[in-house]
Amino acid sequence: MTAPSGLGGVRLASPDLLRSVFRRHAAGVAVVTAGGAAGPVGFTATSLSSVSAEPPMLSFGIGTGGSSWPVVSRADHVGVHILGEHQQDLAALFARSGADRFGPGTAWREGPEGVPVLDGVLAWLVCRIVARVPAGEHRIVIAEVVLGDPTGAGRPLLYHQGRFNGLRD
């Protein structure tokens, strides 16, 4: 495929093209958690999306090759945590492969439905998983909100150009 006149940067679809475009898309940062028999799991997600207000539902993507997938694939409930700009280290920890995500440096407690709830976040939800939709090497998880707390203090953490950032005034 050749680029139409005046569109010199046009490229064919590829994983690299998708990554390059989405580096330019600022996204909120969340951590998704689930309780498992071998202990809690969690991962950083920038794919969080509101799906429906009635009933209240959301979605997020998770790679099937990730360490959290085996637990999330069997879980009935997950926790969704909206991170604040003061939580860049927490976002990086939950994004790092092989990290001890629930070790001594992570403040959390067991919440409703056995879901790990992180302390100090802007907001958190406990959600009941209603579907896991195949999408390439990922699954799109659709979940119904059961309960939550939107009262944390601070400003949101964003992910842009491969880095965690706060809002600028």
What CATH number did the domain enclosing 83 receive?
A: 2.30.110.10
- Residue 31 in domain: no
Cα separation of 147 and 122, whole Å? 15
User: Higher-confidence residue: 23 or 126?
Assistant: 126
| pLDDT class of 19 with cuts at 50, 70, 90 | confident
pTM over cut 0.85: yes
Mean per-residue pLDDT, 92-113: 95
- Residue 16 in domain: no
Cα separation of 36 and 43, whole Å? 14
Cα separation of 3 and 95, whole Å? 36
Q: What does the pLDDT read at residue 92?
A: 97
> What is the rounded average pLDDT for all residues in the chain?
93
Express each pLDDT in 111-169 by its tens digit: 999 999 999 999 999 999 999 999 999 999 999 999 999 999 999 999 999 999 998 87
| pLDDT class of 62 with cuts at 50, 70, 90 | very high
Spatial neighbors of 38 by CB under 8 A, at least 6 apart, are 71
**Number of domains, the chain:** 1
- Residue 67 in domain: yes
- Residue 135 in domain: yes
Domain hosting 79: range is: 49-143
